[in-house]
Amino acid sequence: MDIFGSYALLLAFAFALYAIVGGIAAIITRRPLLIKSARNAGFAVCALIWIGTASLWYLFFTDNFSMAYVAAHSNRSLSPYYKFSALWSGQEGSLLFWSFLLSIYVFSVLFTYRGKHPELMPYVGVVMAGVQIFFLTMNNFVASPFGVFAGQGSGGILHLVTRSDGSGLNPLLQYPEMAIHPPTLYSGYTGFTIPFAFALAALLGRYPGEKWIHLTRRWTMIAWCFQSAGILLGAHWAYAVLGWGGYWGWDPVENASLMPWLTGTAFLHSVMMQEKRGMMRVWNVWLVFITFMLCMLGTSLTRSGAVNSVHAFAESNIGHWFWSFLLLILLVCLAAYFKNRDYLRSDNQLDSMLSRESSFLFNNLILLVACVAVLAGTLFPVLSEAVRGSKISVGPPFFNRVNIPIAMFLLFLTGVGPLLAWRKTSTESLKKNFGLPLVGGVIVAVIALALGLRDFYVTLCVLLSGFVTLTILSEFYRGARVISARTGANIFASAGQLTMRNTRRYGGYVVHFGMVLIFIGICGQAFNQDKQMDMTTGSVLTLGQYRLHLQNYDSTQAPNYTAERATIDVEKNGRSVMMLYPTRRFYPSNQESGTMVAIASTLREDLYVVYAGTNPDTNLPVIHAYLNPLVKWIWLGGVVVVLGTILALLPNRQAAMVLSPAATQAPIPVPGSTQPAHVSFSARSQLPAGAGSTWSPPEK
């Protein structure tokens, strides 16, 4: 099966080469047969990558320890669940998994647009195959997951060596989210290949108009959604497994995932200016290019070992391959831009400073500055070492201090943007729209101050969260009220109807609300408390309103590890409310330890208890307890963001016209029927003049 997988990947490489050469020939000759042939080669590449990936999974499930990769990342006692996820637990497998996810996107694009857009798709196919070639080069020649253990026999002949058992999976990776977080995040990274391919293809082929934007809008949103969910899942994983009481440590790998998310978010906003006004063509193309390059840069940073990261399992010497690919992409993008930049010329005009367009410009500015700040902080240790010869650390204090003001400005713009109209907003409408949300935000902030909040940024965040939430609610309310007045439906049903008529706009508002929840959750960090104590049986640790009684500590045996476990009775206001079992595991196969944190989570706060090991001086178990307020709001916000994006991905429901009450009083008689006809119009063009139409909100 190892040979089978290797051959599949080699064949995929050969077909990918053909897809590029054939695609370029098809572009030059415009022969339909060549176009079809290059496309079919693209399909074959995808199918072969799937076969290669399936082979590796098979090797994991059959405990084939003659394979170096399987032996390094699995063992016999590993549960099937983790054998499945072990595929992407190391360098070689994760690169193959990257190819696998990319091939799903490529297949979907080739299949969805087969026979459509003949001027654009050959270019798209070539760009996608180009990206696939790079990863297949890695999979075949640089970091193959199908390497075997070989030994020299008596006659000098090499033969396969099979180990009796493998080293097992890194304990930090033996957590249920291992099966969800990497695939989700990688789906985000690889997904940005599609808008990149379309943007570069449109530029190379001088494809007219904004069509490529319409074609890639949903793909970009899908990639963005995966990236958002992947980042939050990673944060949750860090929170539940690493046991330091936090969820975001500004580690280079975390930063690497955040940077394309920031530019991707900027793109999702600025692209509306191109769709609506034909503006920002150059900017949008470069935003897509930069987003894709940041996906590659992040991977280069973490896999090259250039920066220190807790994700040390990903470090290797393959970084220069990524740097070279990154340089190549940059050169291709620059060449395409300078050759065809006249194609991107747009008639940018702005009617007023107070307009949706301006707010998007500032939104892009802030997101890009945030990205630059994160990039600067991540790369600065490397720069400092190159210039001064000594490495410095750039840790959370730097990132928090720089990014918190930026985040506040962004939150402010999240509230302001929807209140501004395209082209121009009058001062009167500004006052009218701003008044209540702003007053509401101030009231919330005053209450927070009255409750004792004294941190400036937390108070500001509370104020802005109130402001943004009320802005969103008022947007829904105003639209729903008009529909309610026309149809007689209640306000909630009308809000539902309104949302389904313009899913992109109102889905976007739901995403904004999700971000507000995340911001509120992050604010809770300002009130974190923690206490660490060496505990004997019966001793008590008091933290906030909680009293933690250590009842006993024991050890258990599982097939893959041994565990030391503390049993803690938690009292709140003098009443026993729950039992918690923080655990420390020891994995003999790789001689590593890991923590399983016990978390009691409510909307108000998380009681987070870590069994931190045994104090060698006292030989007593060390319990570290944290009280982290509002953390659940972050995960809840993440769910809302994903749901909002899914909503925005849905097609708009066509508005059915309902006659006004005056009109319905005179039903139209239908010959031969005792019932009056129910009249509805599905197309706006059919609206009779003056008959009253459903209210349709302007596109966001």
Partner 1 sequence: MTSRRRIALISTVFVAIASALVPLHIDAQRSDRAKSLGTKLMCMCGCGQILTQCNHINCPSSGPMLKELDAHVAKGEADDLIIQDFVQEYGEKVLSAPPTSGFNAIAWYIPGIAFVIGLGIVVALIRMWRQRDVARVATAVGPSAPAHDVLSEVHNVQLDRARQQADRDTED
Separation of alpha carbons 42 and 17, rounded Å: 10
Whose CA is closest to 63, among 594, 589, 593?
A: 589
Rounded to the nearest whole angstrom, what is the least distance from the CB of residue 546 to partner 1 in the complex?
A: 10
Candidates 162, 308, 551, 552; binder of partner 1 (CB under 8 A) is 308
Distances in Å between the Cα of 542 and the Cα atoms of 245, 246, 567, 572, 621 are: 17, 20, 16, 10, 16
Does 358 bind partner 1 (CB under 8 A)? Our answer is yes
Query: Could you say whether residue 319 binds partner 1 (CB under 8 A)?
Result: no
The pattern of x and - marking residues 224 through 243 that bind partner 1 according to CB under 8 A reads ------------------xx
**In this chain, which of 114, 206, 604, 653 binds partner 1, going by CB under 8 A?**
604
Angle at the Cα of 103 (from 98 to 109), degrees rounded to 5?
Answer: 135
Nearer to partner 1, 66 or 593 (CB): 593
Name the residue nearer to partner 1 (CB basis): 376 or 577: 376
Q: Give yes or no for a contact between 87 and 59, defined as CB atoms under 8 angstroms apart.
A: no
Q: Which two tokens stand for residue 115?
A: 């026979």
User: Footprint of partner 1 on residues 460-479 (CB under 8 A)?
Assistant: 462, 466, 469-470, 473-474, 477-478
Size of the residue set binding partner 1 (CB under 8 A): 89
Q: Which is nearer to partner 1, 252 or 415 (CB)?
A: 252
225 near 233, Cβ under 8 Å?
Answer: no
Residues in the chain: 700
**Nearest CA-CA partner of 313 in 162, 139, 174:** 174
449 in contact with partner 1 (CB under 8 A): no
583 binds partner 1 (CB under 8 A): no
The answer to whether residue 593 forms part of the interface with partner 1 (CB under 8 A) is yes
Q: Which is nearer to partner 1, 165 or 699 (CB)?
A: 699
Told to check if 309 binds partner 1 by CB under 8 A, we report: yes
Binders of partner 1 among residues 533 to 552 (CB under 8 A) are: 544-545
With beta carbons less than 8 A apart as the criterion, state whether 474 and 433 touch: yes
Name residues contacting partner 1, limited to 488-527 (CB under 8 A). Answer: 524, 527
Binding span for partner 1 by CB under 8 A among 84-92, 307-315, 335-343, 569-577 = 307-315
Q: Closest distance between partner 1 and the C-beta of residue 70, in Å? A: 28
Q: Smallest Cα–Cα separation from 624: which of 611, 641, 607?
A: 611
Cross-strand bridge partners of residue 585:
563, 594
Burial class (CB in 10 A: 0-12, 13-18, 19+), 600: middle
Helix/strand/coil percentages in the chain, nearest 5: 60, 10, 25
CB of 544 to partner 1, least distance (A): 5
Q: How far is the CB of 103 from partner 1 (least distance, A)?
A: 32
- Which of 160, 328, 439, 579 contacts partner 1 by CB under 8 A? 439
Nearer to partner 1, 439 or 577 (CB): 439
Q: Which are the contacts of 597, defined by CB distance < 8 A and separation ≥ 6? A: 239, 240, 241, 243, 582, 608, 609, 610
Using the contact rule CB under 8 A, the part of the chain among 22-30, 36-44, 155-163, 246-254 near partner 1 is 246-254
Among positions 57, 244, 323, 581, the unique one binding partner 1 when judged by CB under 8 A: 244
Establish if 154 lies at the interface with partner 1 (CB under 8 A): no
Residue type present at position 530 = D
CA distances from 530 to 309, 543, 574, 627, 696 (A): 25, 7, 20, 6, 52
Q: Is 423 in the site for partner 1 (CB under 8 A)?
A: yes
In 488-603, which ranges are continuous DSSP H helix?
Answer: 491-501, 503-523
Residue 287 CB, nearest approach to partner 1 (Å)? 13
Q: State the nearest-atom distance from the C-beta of 525 to partner 1, in Å.
A: 12
In angstroms, give the least distance from the CB of 77 to partner 1: 21
Question: Interface residues for partner 1 in 619-648 (CB under 8 A)?
Answer: 624, 627, 629-630
The Cα–Cα gap between 262 and 249 comes to: 17
State the Cα–Cα distance between residues 52 and 146, nearest whole angstrom: 9
Residue 168 backbone phi and psi in degrees, to 5:
90, 170
CA distance 605 to 624: 16
Q: Does 398 bind partner 1 (CB under 8 A)?
A: yes
Binding status of residue 249 toward partner 1 by CB under 8 A: yes
CA 594, CA 103: separation in Å to the nearest integer?
Answer: 35
Kindly tell me which of 318 and 367 has the beta carbon lying closer to partner 1: 367
Residue 575 C-alpha from the chain's centroid: 41
- Choosing from 33, 157, 386, 451, the residue that interacts with partner 1 (CB under 8 A) is 451
- Residue 380 in the binding site for partner 1 (CB under 8 A): yes
Backbone angles phi, psi at 531, to 5 degrees: -150, 140
Query: Binding residue for partner 1 (CB under 8 A) from 118, 613, 667, 688?
Result: 613
Residue 176 within binding range of partner 1, rule CB under 8 A: no
Q: DSSP class of residue 677?
A: P
